[in-house]
Amino acid sequence: MDKIVISGGKKLNGEVEISGSKNAILPLMAASLLASGDFTINGVPQLRDLKTMANMLRIIGAEVVVENEKMKINTKNCNCFKAPYELVKTMRASIYVLGPLVARFGEAEVSLPGGCAWGPRPVDFHIQGIKKLGAEVELENGYIIAKAKKLIGTRINFDIPSVGATCNLLMAATLAKGTTVIENAAMEPDVTALVEFLLKMGAKIDGIGTTKLEIEGVDELKPTEVNAIPDRIEAGTFLVAGAITGGKITLKNCEISHIEAIIEKLKEVGCEFTFGKNEVTLIAPEKIRAVDVKTTVFPGFPTDMQAQWIALMSVANGTSSITDTIYKDRFTHVPELCRLGAEIKLNDNTAIVHGVQKLKGASVMSTDLRASASLILAGLVAEGRTDVLRVYHIDRGYEKIEKKFEKLGASIWREEGGL
């Protein structure tokens, strides 16, 4: 298994190009199942999760080819409506095929994802929603088996906004008979990007970018071409890298309106910013101020930046508290950061971080995607050598992260071997 090795202490300086957003591309790929023909998604990075979704579409019968960041999907010959456990267990977002398959083909058999490294991540909203749209659903041998001759428009009101369930049911509703209203819908940019894609396919949707989406079902959708939106979490991760190393970093190809909450918090920390068209430059202060964070739904501070923020606060001047209100058990990076010398106490879903003068390199274990990013950030500033093991997690969502950091002046490389 590969590991990433960092010799910490270098200030990062320079420009970095932000890649297309994994979490936005995944639902677009699933949405291609809603129509027959040739789709193109531009700006697709090489990520393990996107390869997993491509394999999922291939099992269903689609052709998927990626060349020079251009993903071509042909959905003419889809004839297998099953998402097998072997794939779903490696990527929960596989459940995105449920809505489109039932909507277009009247049937789907999708494995339940099972557990997650950081606590329960239920899919009950997806199941209840597809039932409300008129599908008959049974749970058998670990699979969701859903059938519907034709989905029927309905009213769905989420207890809490869910990105995944909003996307899944939105896709399903585009081909349903009549009107569907989704209330308390997620407003994350990934959802908005999906709405835009579906509109291009000929769907009828009102309320884009709001918590109430109204979808009038149509008989048929058509294939289309789209550019992926930039990855706001990759952007946030590189901004934190600039801040934690005391550097100056310019992000190219980023959408400022998607990362405002992160920028505001970094300003409180002491960072200065200048803005250009689709780019932003961060200038780090001499010393990081401790700043509290509470994760919330968009446009609030994202849960996917919680781990990286804890890494930053580990070397801040003072004590901060970081609360995750979205995923209350998402703290597997905390004991690993403590191995690097961080002083962090966990109190339910709040981490209390006492900033220390310095971190010291050690071997640490990645446990999930954002935890890995947090450990790399800490390694960039830790004294000596840090080995981040099980780095396959990082390859799920960050394209060639070590190459991008190296270009910014970090001493970082990938090695084979390790646990």
**Residue 116 annotated as catalytic:** yes
Q: State how far the alpha carbon of 178 is from the alpha carbons of 33, 96, 217, in Å.
A: 20, 22, 5
> Catalytic: which of 80, 116, 254, 271?
116
Contact characters 189-208, ligand EPU, x per CB under 6 A: -x------------------
Count Cα atoms within 13 angstroms, Cβ side, for 221. 31
**Residue 13 DSSP one-character state:** E
> Where does this chain touch ligand EPU (CB under 6 A) — which range of 34-42, 102-110, 139-147, 183-191?
183-191
Give the separation between CA 215 and CA 217, rounded to whole angstroms. 6
Shortest distance in whole angstroms from residue 303 CB to ligand EPU:
5
Q: Which of 19, 162, 224, 308 binds ligand EPU (CB under 6 A)?
A: 162
- For Cα atoms 291, 293, 299, give the angle at the middle one, nearest 5 degrees: 125
Q: Which of 81, 238, 327, 398 binds ligand EPU (CB under 6 A)?
A: 327
H or E stretch at 415: strand 411-415
If the CB atoms of residues 18 and 123 are measured against ligand EPU, the closer one turns out to be 123
- Residues 220-249 binding ligand EPU (CB under 6 A) are none
- For Cα atoms 273, 17, 209, give the angle at the middle one, nearest 5 degrees: 70
Give the separation between CA 12 and CA 245, rounded to whole angstroms. 6
C-alpha torsion sign, points 235, 237, 241, 242: positive
Can you say whether residue 133 is alpha, beta or left, with left for phi > 0 and alpha for psi between -120 and 50 degrees? alpha
Q: What are 331's two structure tokens?
A: 């703290």
If the CB atoms of residues 33 and 284 are measured against ligand EPU, the closer one turns out to be 33
Q: Which of 370, 390, 393, 404 binds ligand EPU (CB under 6 A)?
A: 370
Does the protein bind ligand EPU through residue 126 (CB under 6 A)? yes
Report whether 215 contacts 178 (CB < 8 A).
no
- Residues 276-315 binding ligand EPU (CB under 6 A) are 302-304
Q: Which of 12, 397, 401, 408 binds ligand EPU (CB under 6 A)?
A: 397
Does the protein bind ligand EPU through residue 174 (CB under 6 A)? no
Does the protein bind ligand EPU through residue 100 (CB under 6 A)? no
Strands 319-324 and 204-206: unpaired
Total binding residues for ligand EPU by CB under 6 A? 25
C-alpha torsion sign, points 330, 332, 335, 337: negative
Burial label for 294, CB within 10 Å (0-12, 13-18, 19+), is: middle
Does the protein bind ligand EPU through residue 114 (CB under 6 A)? no
Does the protein bind ligand EPU through residue 331 (CB under 6 A)? no
Strand partners, 113: none
If the CB atoms of residues 20 and 361 are measured against ligand EPU, the closer one turns out to be 20
In the block, tokens 């970081």 appear at 322
Give the residue closest to ligand EPU by C-beta.
164
Does the protein bind ligand EPU through residue 118 (CB under 6 A)? no
Does the protein bind ligand EPU through residue 326 (CB under 6 A)? yes
Shortest distance in whole angstroms from residue 360 CB to ligand EPU:
27
Which of the residues are catalytic? Answer: 116
Can you give the binding site for ligand EPU, defined by CB under 6 A?
23, 26, 93, 121-126, 160, 162-165, 186, 188, 190, 302-304, 326-327, 369-370, 397
